[in-house]
Structure 1
């Protein structure tokens, strides 16, 4: 009787392994950092910026993102927040850039500086918090990254920290 059970048990094990191989893998959260921070328009009450985000995919498969929610904090104060519905796909083990135009009021942060020249040539600590929605994956993948960025007319350089 045991000779009949062994092939049957092996067959059941093979079917279970095949069934489990079709289950979706939980994607790892992409690493999101601030690649560029441009001041587009300088006004007294509000300013326009273009944030260029670098999205790195640690997964061995492409990551199709349908929605991106974010909050940007500068020097531990809220700078801007929002949602981007631009669908993008980050290649497997690759990176993709996403440009987001935002409006904010940097005057709230200006209390610690004497003039605009000091403000425009200073390193800022930033924190980028939010989540991404991935196709065929129900829960949002949260992220929280920080680094430093310098604000310049026409572009900047950033230093990332996980």
Structure 2
């Protein structure tokens, strides 16, 4: 009789512990942030304006409500631009979202001098995108880093 009561008591304790753990907040996993498009929008002598389209993928089983994003973009190991976006976006659970940033930089200083414009237009460049996203009402700053290749100065109708 005591054994049966003891087992029931242990079972209730285990169920209570598991129920308590189920309500603990999960530590979110950093989203995957990559550069999907890079467009020149204004060509100036000293400074150019660009639109960057970032692809945000959420690996978490819950939505990620982001209130800001700090970023640094390097092209061929040179800092191209860095800054902060205060555009709020919520990435759905196990889903994706896009974020468009307008940035200013001097591309020629970043990638160096090329012998002709054709060489520049037909070349892919290595990039590294890094930073962190800030999750609304949580205090979490989730870091991200992505490396890849992208063609620069794409002159085609924008999909932004």
- When normalised by structure 2's length, the TM-score is 0.89
Structure 1 portions without partners, runs of 5+? 157-162
Q: Which residue of 1 aligns with 2:80?
A: 79
Name the SS for the 2:112 alignment partner.
Answer: helix
Name the SS for the 1:137 alignment partner.
Answer: coil
Structure 2 portions without partners, runs of 5+? none
Q: Which residue of 2 aligns with 1:12?
A: 13
Residues 17-64 of structure 1 show CA distances to partners (whole Å, capped at 9, x for unaligned) of 111100111112111111100000111100000000011111222111
Matches within 5 A, 1:37-116: 37-116=38-117
Deviation at 1:153, TM superposition (A): 2.5
Q: Which residue of 2 aligns with 1:140?
A: 141
- Of 148, 152, 155, the residue aligned with 1:153 is 155
Residues 50-85 of structure 1 show CA distances to partners (whole Å, capped at 9, x for unaligned) of 000011111222111111110000000000001111
Check 1:118–1:155 CA distance in 2 against 1; reply closer, same or farther (3 A cut).
farther
Name the SS for the 1:153 alignment partner.
Answer: coil
Name the SS for the 1:107 alignment partner.
Answer: helix
CA distance in 1, matches of 2:39, 2:148: 16
Aligned length: 156
Deviation at 1:97, TM superposition (A): 0.6
RMSD across aligned C-alpha pairs, in angstroms?
1.7
Which piece of structure 1 moves more, 49-58 or 23-32?
Answer: 23-32
Name the SS for the 2:94 alignment partner.
Answer: coil
CA distance in 1, matches of 2:110, 2:17: 58
- When normalised by structure 1's length, the TM-score is 0.88
